[in-house]
Each structure stands twice: as C-alpha cells, then as structure tokens.
Amino acid sequence: MTDRPSYYVTTPIYYVNDVPHIGHAYTTLACDMLARFKRLDGYDVMFLTGTDEHGQKIERSAEKAGVDPQAFCDRVSDRFKELAAAMNFSNDQFIRTTEDRHKKAVQHLWKVLEEKGFIYEDSYSGWYSVRDEAFYAEKELTVGEGGEKLAPTGAPVEWVEEPSYFFKLSAFEDKLLELYDTQEDFVMPKSRLNEVRSFVKGGLEDLSISRSSFKWGVPVPGHEGHVMYVWIDALANYLTAVGYPDEGAEAYKTYWPANVHMVGKDILRFHAVYWPAFLMAADLPLPKRVFAHGWWTNEGQKISKSLGNVIDPFELIDTYGLDPVRFFLMREVPFGNDGDFSRKSFVLRCNSELANGIGNLSQRTLSMIHKNCDGAIPTPGELISEDKKLLSDIEATLDVVRSHMDKQAFNFALEAIFAQASAADSYISVQEPWKLKKTDPERMNTVLYVLADAIRQIAIMAQAIMPESMDKLLSQMNVTERGFDQIGSTHRIAPGTEIPKPEGVFPRFDLPEEDAA
C-alpha cells in the first residue's frame, strides 16, 4: 500500500478471432493516455488490458485455421502483445482468459452467484449471434436482403436450443435504474446513459450464462457438460487481475473497484447492465464508471474485414512514426463521438499542431538559445507582465487539462495543452527575441528563458500522449524532473542548464498524392 491515491483503468479484452486493428489500438491508447497522465499526477495506477479467448467464435476460428484452440489463442494473443509494444502502451498487466488464475476467479464468482440463489437451471431456446457472442430477442432482429434474420448489429443469428443455466437478471431492473440515477457518471457520455436506461426500462429477461453445445470455455463448476457464457467469463477478468477471489489481496484492496472501464459503444450493454448486475448479486463493489467511446470509419466507410479496408496500426506507425499516430487518434475527434480516419486529415493535423506547432516552437527557441546564449539557458532579468502572463496561463492549464482528463475528454485536454504552444508562438512574434540580440541582450535573455520554461512545462504536460517525443525534447533541455509537481513557478528551469544544438522532434508530412494537387 502507498499513500498515493489509486487509479484502476481497464480496456476491453479483445477477441483473438482476428488480428488487432486501429479500433483496438484506439481504445487501449485512450487508457494509456489516462494511465500515464494519472501516474505523472502522482497516482498509483493499475492499467489492464488483455485478450478474451473463449467461446464459440474463437472455437470456430481455430477450427477454420486448422489449429488447436489454445495454440490459436497463443498466436493471436501474441499479436496483441506486439501491438502494445509497438504503440508504447504502459499497461501493468496483460491478462488472458485462458490463464489458470482467471479460470479459478470466474469459477469462484459463479459459485458465489449460485450460493446466493441467482443461478438456476433451465433450457435456452432462442436466437444467438456467434459473431457478437450475444443472445437476441425476436423483437430485436431485422431482416437481411436475402430474407434472413439478422442481429441489430447486422451479424447473422442462429437458432439455439440447449440446456443452460440462467442468471436472474430480471431481479436487477430496479437496482440498476437506481444505480443510473444515483451514481453520477456511472455511464458516460450522458447520451449513452439514456440508451442504457431505456434498455433496462424496457424490461430485463434472465440471462443464459452457460452453453452446453460446444466445449471451448471455462467449465461450469459442479455441472459437467456446461461451459460458461463467454461474457461472464470475460467480464470477470477485471476482478481476476487484482487478485479476486482473494478479497484480502493487496492489489484487490488497492485498486478495486475500478475507476474506469473503457469500452467501445458496441459493448456498452454488457458493461453497464450485465456487469453491475453480476457484481450486485455477488455483493461486490461496483466500478465507478463505464465510458463508451465511438467508432472509427475509414475514409467514410465502415471498417470491416470483408470490405478490405481495415486500418493496420503497424503500417501507420511504420509510415508516420508512433507519436503522430498516437496524437492524431486522441486529438482529432471528440472522445465519445464516431470519427473518420483519413490520411489527409492526419497529415494536416500533424503538420499544423506538431511540426509547425510545438516542433517549430521548440526548434526555434532552442536554436536561438544554443546560438546566442553560449549553449545554455540564460539568466533572466525582471519579468514583465507579458512574460508572467504566458507562464501563469501555462501553469493554470494543468487544472484545465486535469478536469478534461477526469471526464475522458482527451481531445479537449490536448487542445488545451497545444493552445499554450500557440500562445508561446504569439509571444515570440510580439517579443521578437532575434531583434533584441543587438538592441537589448538582457531582455533577449529573459524572453528566451521564459520560452524555455514554457516549452518545458508544455512538454511535461504532453508526455502522456507523446511519451517518446516529449522524452526527446525534455532530454534536449536536460530536464530530468518530469512529474506534474514540476509545473509552476516553484520549479523553473535552471539558468546555466546546457542546451546542445537541437534536433527536430516532429517531421512535416506530405499530403497523400490524390489530395496534394
């Protein structure tokens, strides 16, 4: 235990039926930015991601690939680990649902639910979509072009009849509605909360939580022939990772309940309805928030394997470098909304805010210092009101950014940080330090000092989104203390700090050929 406040953030665990794409990178990146930000702000953070490896979808994919399911899971799960490394994710754990610790945890949870009288045996007959790993009521289905029945997501459904155990979800209608009314911001954004509330108000049926027509799942304890429904298995990963069922485990005591379960809008129902109901039934504390973000399309089109337009994060990183990719994904679209990925927007955004923004600002300033101040941070004279304003505005930005981050408004957090880079640019244009060299070298020293300290603080705040580039920039300035406790007037950059000839941090990109003309 530390006396620092704790913060637990989770990503969905991704199905291993398919290799990772930009959507998976996006969700985990949002959590990475949050985790890094909280660490820099002094929190004791637990950041969890991983893979969801059971269920019929995985069993069938393995069969199709002609590989044993475990070997299949090992292979694809590794690819998600490679993505985490390529994206510089700082997850503290990578959980896999085929691990023993997880099977034990979810079997324990099952037994608790059973002992408390929330599980009963019956048989299920109804519609099931393997692609969504979800049951659908007849009234939810739509009809496809060929007259076939489809899930509301467009996924095919099949009729299933089999013995099954059920969870008494219907008993939780009122309790869930009360949760949405009383626990502020349990579901965010607000518009999503309304969606969830009206789903629950529409009436909840008991949920089939075991399958008996295939094998690839966690065995239901004491009931041979049944494996758990993949969603009860998957959701429990958030508990396994902190040591459940040992409620006395240090990690459990420190981190549970989670602060944020980050998910895409497609899986909100599982997290905001089923998950709290399971936890209430087991008498376990509820997570503080479920945040459902929007979906990316590719140049206006839905991203899908069958359309062949899946955006490969590895390819993007190869083409543009990692930090511009991280920056663009979090900066471009208000978090929570859907967004469109286009290379033109990518290039325009990165050129204006990275290459021409913070990149140019730091390159110009550090070059001037290197050249005109004997390669070291100059000693400032007395600060005038413009100097003080720039620095105090930057200091005040930290609280603005904190408040955006606490609402998962990542784009606004970045906008606030980068507005300070623009403010520093305007300050240069007004102060014209290059002219002061001859007319008033002491004032030039002050201006360059103020700029260096402004850049130091902007770079400290931007570390959560661009860890590598900001490390490069801060290292060029010999800044070693980089936590948010270093923001403000008590920790200014020390005069005399060596500033070598700077190297550019952000390249400028060319527009894609079709847009360049």
DSSP state of 265: G
CA atoms of 443 and 381, how far apart (whole Å):
7
Q: Of residues 26, 37, 80, 506, which one binds ligand ME8 by CB under 6 A?
A: 26
Peptide bond into 512 cis (omega under 30): no
Q: Count CB neighbours of 473 within 10 A.
A: 27
Q: 296 or 427: whose CB is closer to ligand ME8?
A: 296
Could you tell me which stretch among 9-17, 114-122, 135-143, 246-254 binds ligand ME8 (CB under 6 A)? 9-17
Question: How many CB atoms are closer than 10 A to CB 6?
Answer: 17
Shortest spacing between CB 459 and ligand ME8, in angstroms = 29
Tokens of 237: 């990963």
Interaction between residue 263 and ligand ME8 (CB under 6 A): yes
**Where does this chain touch ligand ME8 (CB under 6 A) — which range of 13-21, 121-129, 370-378, 383-391?**
13-21
In whole angstroms, how far apart are CA 117 and each of 10, 105, 167, 317? 29, 19, 9, 51
Q: Tell me how far, at minimum, the Cβ of 347 lies from ligand ME8, in Å.
A: 21
Among 234, 330, 358, 416, interactor with ligand ME8 by CB under 6 A:
234
Cα distance between residue 252 and residue 243, in whole Å: 6
CB of 21 to ligand ME8, least distance (A): 7
Among 14, 124, 165, 412, binds ligand ME8 (CB under 6 A): 14
| Residue 12 binds ligand ME8 (CB under 6 A) | yes
Return the number of the residue (95 or 421) whose C-beta is nearest ligand ME8: 95
Q: Which is nearer to ligand ME8, 329 or 377 (CB)?
A: 329
Nearer to ligand ME8, 98 or 420 (CB): 98
The token pair at 233 is 């298995």
Q: Residue 52 or residue 353: which is nearer to ligand ME8 going by CB?
A: 52
CA–CA–CA angle 38, 410, 476 (5° rounding): 65
Looking at beta carbons only, is 228 or 505 nearer to ligand ME8?
228
> Structure tokens of 106?
């979810």
Listed residue (29, 76, 71, 68) closest to 49, CA to CA: 29
Q: Does residue 235 belong to the site contacting ligand ME8 (CB under 6 A)?
A: yes
CB of 298 to ligand ME8, least distance (A): 8
Whole-number minimum distance, CB 76 to ligand ME8, in Å?
Answer: 10
Output the six-digit token pair for 478: 């010999």
Report the alpha-carbon distance of residue 64 to residue 129 in Å, rounded: 18
Scanning 24-32, 136-144, 172-180, 341-349 for contacts with ligand ME8 by CB under 6 A, the matching segment is: 24-32
DSSP letters spanning 477-495 = TT----SGGG-SGGGPPPT
Among positions 318-357, residues that touch ligand ME8 (CB under 6 A) are none
Select from 242, 294, 243, 244 the least CA-distant residue to 268: 294
- Contact between 169 and 277 (Cβ < 8 Å): yes
**If 0-12 CB within 10 Å is exposed, 13-18 middle and 19+ buried, where does residue 491 land?**
middle
Angle between helix 69-86 and 313-320 (nearest 10) = 30
Q: Is 210 in the site for ligand ME8 (CB under 6 A)?
A: no
Q: Which amino acid is at 290?
A: V
Shortest distance in whole angstroms from residue 350 CB to ligand ME8: 20
Residue range at the interface with ligand ME8 (CB under 6 A); choices 160-168, 230-238, 328-336, 449-457: 230-238
Q: Which of 19, 286, 303, 376 binds ligand ME8 (CB under 6 A)?
A: 303
Nearest residue to ligand ME8 on Cβ basis: 23
Distance CA 465, CA 454 (A): 18
C-beta closer to ligand ME8: residue 203 or 308: 308
Q: How far is the CB of 111 from ligand ME8 (least distance, A)?
A: 20
Restricting to residues 422-481, which ones interact with ligand ME8 according to CB under 6 A?
A: none
Kindly tell me which of 309 and 497 has the beta carbon lying closer to ligand ME8: 309
CB of 97 to ligand ME8, least distance (A): 9
Tell me the closest approach of the beta carbon of residue 197 to ligand ME8, in angstroms: 20
Q: Can you tell me which of 264, 334, 381, 441 binds ligand ME8, judged by CB under 6 A?
A: 264
Alpha carbons 62 and 55: distance in angstroms, whole number: 11
Nearer to ligand ME8, 150 or 417 (CB): 150
Torsion angle of the four alpha carbons 429, 432, 433, 435, in this order, in degrees rounded to the nearest 10: 150
Residue 481 CB, nearest approach to ligand ME8 (Å): 35
Q: DSSP readout, 130-190?
A: TTTTEEE-GGG-EE-TTS-EE-TTS-B-EEEEEEEEEE-GGGGHHHHHHHHHHSTTSEESH
Give dist(CA 298, CA 304) in Å, integer: 9
Nearer to ligand ME8, 43 or 199 (CB): 199
CB nearer to ligand ME8: give 163 or 264: 264
CB 219 within 8 A of CB 106: no
Structure tokens of 248?
A: 């006395």
* Beta-strand relationship, 158-167 and 119-129: antiparallel
**Closest CB 234 distance from ligand ME8, rounded Å:** 4
Within residues 40-69, the interface with ligand ME8 by CB under 6 A covers: 52
Residue in 8, 24, 358, 378 binding ligand ME8, rule: CB under 6 A:
24
The count of chain residues that interact with ligand ME8, using the rule CB under 6 A, is: 19
Interface with ligand ME8 includes 266 (CB under 6 A)? yes
Give the interface with ligand ME8 as residue ranges (CB under 6 A): 12-15, 23-24, 26-27, 52, 234-235, 237, 263-264, 266-267, 295-296, 303
